[in-house]
Every structure is written in structure tokens, then in C-alpha cells.
Amino acid sequence: EESLQMWDLNKRLEAYLARVKFLEEENEVLRAEIQNTKSSPAGDSWRVKYEEELRALRDALDHAFREKCTAELARDNLYEEVQQVKSRCQKEQAAREEAKKQLSLSRKELEEERRAQIWLKERAVQLEKEVEALLEVHEEEKAGLDQEIASFSHSLESFRCAPVAFQPVEVEDYSKRLSEIWKGAVETYKAEVSQLEGSLCQAKENLWKAVEDNQQSQLQLQHLEKDLAGLKARKEMLEESLAQQWQEQRGEAEKFQLAMEALEQEQQSLRVQIARVLEDRQQLMHLKMSLSLEVATYRTLLEAESTRLQMPAG
């Protein structure tokens, strides 16, 4: 019975020893792998790779943040430039309105100058007609006076002594005075006509100036319209580029957000893997400790059994 128990114990001991040997070999392999992993830099490749990827993504994130700041600055500059273009367009619009007002005033002045010119022409023609009529009347009166003087002189020849009040000399003086008066009137009319001609010339000069100012205003208005069209085109181009930059920046932000989410998921998965590895290692340590205790127990049993078997023989 004792030999059967010993045989059973030996079988169990052999099984336990084989298991312990296998576990010790496996433990040694795991320990060697752990030491190699700790000593060799290739063992930490996943951690180094993860840190490198994290560093690269952080650099990319910083670069994206800098690009975002640059894009925001460019957006602000474009917004300021658009505001300047708008203010310039408003100024150009105000200048255009002012030019239109000046053009309307110039047109009114031109119409007034034309009316004044027409009135001056009509007045000049009327004065010329009046001067011609006065000259004809003067010639007629002069001819009548000459006839009267001639008839009076013929009538005076029949008298030997003519009265003092009807002397031919006084009649000639009277005719001379009348001719001088008519000459003065004619000169006065001529002076008025020359004055009207001068005012007519001045009106023509003012008319030409108004026409030139009108042409200059039209040219300036055309230049302003061209500048306004160019500014509008530039404004549209800037708005399109700003919208495109906004779209690109939004797409890049979405890409970086997706990349960050993917990295966070990968980090969580790596943390789970590390936790699993640590848990497996802890389980292996517990198993090693239990096997060591069991081996120590069997050794003590074997030693006790061997001493018990050796005692009767002695």
C-alpha cells in the first residue's frame, strides 16, 4: 500500500515536475523576450513609432494652426482691402454724382449762354436795324434841311437886306449842330453795338469754356466708370478667393479633426493593449509564484519521504 502511494506520488511528482520545467522554460523564454525588449531599441518600436507619429501629428497640428492664423490674417487683410475698395467705390460713386451734378449745371449754363447768345444776336440785329433807320432818317432830315436851306437861300437873294434872325450862317450852324447831334447819337449807337459785340464774344468764350468743361466732365465720368468697373471686378475676385480660402481652411480643419480622432482612437487601443499585456504579465507572475510554492511543497514532501524511507534502512 505504501509502495502504491509512493508510486502514485512519484507519478504526480513527475507530472508536476514536467509542468514546472515547462513553465520555467516558458518563463525563461518570456524573461529573455522581456529583457530583449527592454534592452533592444527595436522592442520599443511600437512605442517609438507611436511617439514619432504623435510628434509628427503635433507638428502637423502646429503647422495647421500657424496656417490657420496666417489664413485668418490674410482674411482680415482681405476684409480690410474689401472695406477700402467699398469706401473707394462709395467715394467714386459720390464723385460720379458730383460730376453728374456739375454736368447738369454746365448744361444749364450752356443753355443759358445759348439763350443769351440768341438774345444778343437778335438785339444786335435790332440795333443794326435801328441804326440803319436812324441813318436813313438822318439822311432824309439832312436832305430836307439842305433843301430848306437852298430854298431859303434862294428866297433871301430876292431881298437886299435880310433880317438878322434868318441869316444863312445861323441856318448852317443849326444844320451843323444837328449833324453833330446825329453823329453823336450814331457814335453812341455804334458804341452800344461794339459793347454788345464784345459781350457776344464773351458769351461765345463762356460757351466754349462750358463745352470744354462738359467734355472734360464726360471724360472724367468715363474714367470713373472704368475705375468703378475695375474695382467691382477686383472686389468679386477677392470675395471669390476669400470664399475659396474659407472652404480650403474648413476642409483642412475637418481633415485634422478626423486625424486627431483617429489618433485618439489609436491611443485608446494602445492603452487597452498595454493594459492587456500588463494583465497577462501579472497573471504569469501569479502563476509562477503558485508553481514555485507547489514545487517547494513537493520538494519538502519528497525530502520528508526520502528521510522517512532512509530511517528504517539505517
190-217 confidence digits (pLDDT tens): 787 777 777 778 777 877 887 787 788 7
pLDDT for the residue 160:
42
Report, as an integer, the average pLDDT of 134-145: 76
pLDDT for the residue 159:
45
Q: Is the pLDDT of residue 232 over 50?
A: yes
Percentage of the chain surpassing pLDDT 90?
0
Separation of alpha carbons 96 and 224, rounded Å: 7
pLDDT, one tens digit per residue, over 14-56 is: 888 888 888 888 888 888 887 877 776 555 566 677 678 778 8
Average pLDDT score, the chain: 78
Nearest to 30 by CA among 274, 22, 18: 22
pLDDT, one tens digit per residue, over 82-125 is: 888 888 888 888 888 888 888 888 788 888 878 877 887 787 78
Q: Please classify residue 169 by burial: count the beta carbons closer than 10 Å to its beta carbon, then call 0-12 exposed, 13-18 middle and 19+ buried.
A: exposed
pLDDT for the residue 163:
47
Q: Please classify residue 52 by burial: count the beta carbons closer than 10 Å to its beta carbon, then call 0-12 exposed, 13-18 middle and 19+ buried.
A: exposed
Report, as an integer, the average pLDDT of 233-238: 85
pLDDT for the residue 113:
78
pLDDT for the residue 164:
45
pLDDT for the residue 312:
56
Contact predicate 214/107, CB 8 Å:
yes
Q: Is the dihedral of CA 275, 280, 282, 283 positive or negative?
A: positive
Helix, strand or coil for residue 37?
helix
Separation of alpha carbons 182 and 175, rounded Å: 10
Helix, strand or coil for residue 161?
coil
Percentage of the chain surpassing pLDDT 70?
86
pLDDT for the residue 123:
77
pLDDT for the residue 161:
46
